């Protein structure tokens, strides 16, 4: 677990999930709130699950799932902004963070896949 706790992308993903939950605290559309909350939480959770796996290939698999969740959260934030569920400035800030986390995951996936060869 120490390696995971030292992983910058995991820490950022945890912070992202907390920030999204706080951002949605007053949202009354419970379907939207639940879906975005789940996708935000899924990013850090899948990174953690991957880091408990034995092989680099397995880790890369869960990092890819985490990256998909980051894309899902990014999309939902933009939709939430357009639908008026999320303040525009907050949505754009969090959407930018989701993209940065996705880029970090992409680099980490490439590293894991290189190790698996």
Domain 2-116 is in which class?
mainly alpha
CB 101 within 8 A of CB 16: yes
CA distance 2 to 18: 21
CB 110 within 8 A of CB 60: no
> Which pLDDT tens digit goes with each residue over 58-115?
999 999 999 999 999 999 999 999 999 999 999 999 999 999 999 999 999 999 888 7
pTM of the model: 0.94
What is the domain partition of the chain in residue ranges? 2-116
């Amino acid at each position: 677990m120490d390696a995971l706790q030292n992983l910058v992308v995991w820490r950022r993903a945890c912070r992202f999930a907390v920030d999204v939950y706080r951002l949605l605290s007053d949202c009354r559309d419970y379907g939207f709130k639940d879906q975005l909350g789940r996708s935000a939480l899924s990013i850090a959770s899948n990174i953690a699950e991957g880091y408990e796996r034995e092989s680099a290939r397995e880790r890369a698999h869960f990092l890819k799932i985490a990256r998909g969740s980051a894309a899902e959260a990014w999309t939902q934030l933009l939709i939430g902004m357009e639908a008026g569920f999320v303040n525009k400035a907050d949505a754009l800030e969090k959407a930018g963070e989701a993209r940065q986390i996705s880029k970090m995951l992409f680099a980490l996936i490439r590293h894991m896949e290189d190790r698996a060869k």
